[in-house]
């Protein structure tokens, strides 16, 4: 499936992080990439994050965390309900392939694809998110109400599990059918309600680190690298009239000690790439049960095709003549053909291999044994 009737440049200029936009079925041939039974099966798996929201009244929502027993879905009554499953792209290749149509947003911003299935009237209530989201209607129909701009000061209802808005100011209403998309910028209130019993929505969310996360994470990293000997010094200390004063000169030296390390641009780039590429679910182990040997990788790579693990995060930064490849938080320094391969690997989920040198072979071996890549034809 391709976005055949959509102009990414025009969208970025007029709507990205600015205003909501309804996009009427822009696909060449829309087909929902996952079935309801498959989604329910994922919600029963212990390693998959899932939630069930039931609505027992106009203003009463209850949240239940997965994993679920299959019998739980059979026991759902007539009350409106919604099943939400996170990171479905990690488990269903057809869902992950949707992301290739949204590469006009840099890969490092993409989080995951959440999929929801709802009965008539089902929804999670009026809320807002702190990230951009494309809401793709997979099956059935859903009515979306768009509301006001919200922030940390916006009043919320007293609910133990859900962050629901105390007040919703309706600004627009959109009815979405299969293949339709609704883009919602960060901070914009929205409320979706299923219009039938076959309502499935795929939500492509984008990450946006907060200033607090960046400051905390980077400063903690800097602190970990500092030694006890790295201390303030004041050689040629002049006499001062007031011994109780912290002089401007002393303050300038003290602040410079802090800013000098925090302003390390190359260090920050390495830290952020590792931070950004850290796996969403670090407890999940995709590594090989029996590690491949160098010769096995050499044989598989000869004219073969590399497939990326959809659950792995690949990004790179440039440093002088090298490409620093970060995969699931781990860095690999690449040069020459290996650097060009690393760039391609960050852009595509499938790459046909040509000739490979020893550096590329070592890289392939490492990534394959970590479970970040596989070769076409492998189990």
CA distance 162 to 370: 36
Percent of the chain with pLDDT over 70: 99
Q: How far is CA 84 from CA 52, 65, 114, in A?
A: 6, 10, 7
Tens digit of each residue's pLDDT (9 = 90 or more) over 229-263 = 999 999 989 999 999 999 999 999 999 999 999 99
CA distance 298 to 312: 22
- Are 311 and 279 within 8 A, CB to CB? yes
Give the pLDDT band (50/70/90) at residue 328.
very high
User: In 3D, which of 301, 308, 293 has the Cα closest to residue 344?
Assistant: 308
What CATH number has the domain spanning 8-206?
2.60.120.650
- Looking at domain 294-375, does it have CATH number 3.30.70.2190? no
Range with the poorest average pLDDT among 19-28, 244-253, 351-360: 351-360
Q: Say if 8-206 and 294-375 have the same CATH topology.
A: no
User: In 3D, which of 376, 357, 367 has the Cα closest to residue 298?
Assistant: 357
DSSP 196: S
Instruction: Write down the pLDDT at residue 378.
Output: 63
Q: Where are the domains of the chain?
A: 8-206, 210-233+244-263, 294-375
Q: For the purposes of burial, counting CB atoms within 10 Å of the CB of 51, is it exposed (0-12), middle (13-18) or buried (19 or more)?
A: buried
Model pTM score: 0.92
Instruction: Write down the pLDDT at residue 74.
Output: 87
Q: Token digits for 251?
A: 């303050």
Instruction: Write down the pLDDT at residue 289.
Output: 82
pLDDT higher than threshold 60 for residue 379 = no
Tens digit of each residue's pLDDT (9 = 90 or more) over 168-195 = 999 999 999 999 999 999 999 999 999 9
């Amino acid at each position: 499936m391709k976005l055949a009737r959509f102009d990414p440049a025009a969208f970025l200029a007029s709507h990205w992080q600015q205003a909501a936009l309804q996009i009427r079925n822009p696909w060449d041939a829309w087909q929902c990439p996952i079935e309801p039974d498959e989604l329910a099966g994922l919600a029963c798996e212990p390693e998959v994050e899932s939630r069930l929201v039931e609505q027992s009244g106009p203003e009463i929502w209850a949240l239940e965390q997965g994993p679920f027993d299959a019998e739980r879905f059979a026991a759902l009554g007539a009350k409106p309900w919604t099943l939400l499953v996170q990171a479905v792209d990690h488990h269903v290749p057809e869902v992950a392939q949707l992301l290739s149509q949204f590469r006009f947003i840099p890969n490092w911003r993409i989080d995951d694809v959440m999929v929801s299935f709802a009965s008539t009237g089902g929804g999670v209530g009026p809320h807002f998110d702190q990230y951009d989201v494309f809401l793709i209607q997979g099956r059935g129909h859903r009515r979306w109400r768009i509301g006001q701009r919200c922030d940390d000061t916006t009043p919320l209802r007293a609910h133990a599990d859900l962050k629901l808005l105390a007040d919703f100011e309706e600004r627009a209403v959109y009815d979405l059918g299969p293949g339709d998309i609704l883009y919602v910028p960060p901070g914009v209130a929205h409320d979706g309600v299923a219009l039938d019993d076959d309502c499935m929505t795929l939500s492509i969310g984008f990450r946006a680190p907060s200033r607090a996360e960046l400051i905390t994470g980077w400063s903690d990293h800097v602190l970990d690298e500092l030694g006890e000997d790295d201390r303030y010094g004041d050689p040629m200390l002049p006499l001062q009239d007031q011994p109780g004063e912290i002089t401007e000169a002393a303050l300038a030296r003290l602040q410079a000690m802090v800013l000098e390390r925090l302003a390390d641009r190359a260090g920050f780039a390495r830290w952020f790439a590792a931070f950004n590429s850290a796996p969403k679910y670090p407890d999940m182990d995709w590594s090989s049960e029996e590690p491949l040997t160098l010769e096995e990788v050499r044989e598989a790579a000869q004219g073969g095709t590399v497939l990326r693990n959809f659950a792995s995060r690949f990004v790179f930064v440039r440093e002088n003549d090298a490409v620093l490849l970060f995969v699931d938080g781990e860095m690999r320094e690449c040069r020459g053909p290996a650097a060009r391969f690393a760039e391609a690997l960050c852009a595509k989920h499938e790459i046909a291999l040509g000739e490979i040198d020893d550096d590329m072979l070592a890289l392939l071996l490492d990534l394959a044994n970590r479970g970040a890549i596989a070769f076409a034809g492998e189990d």
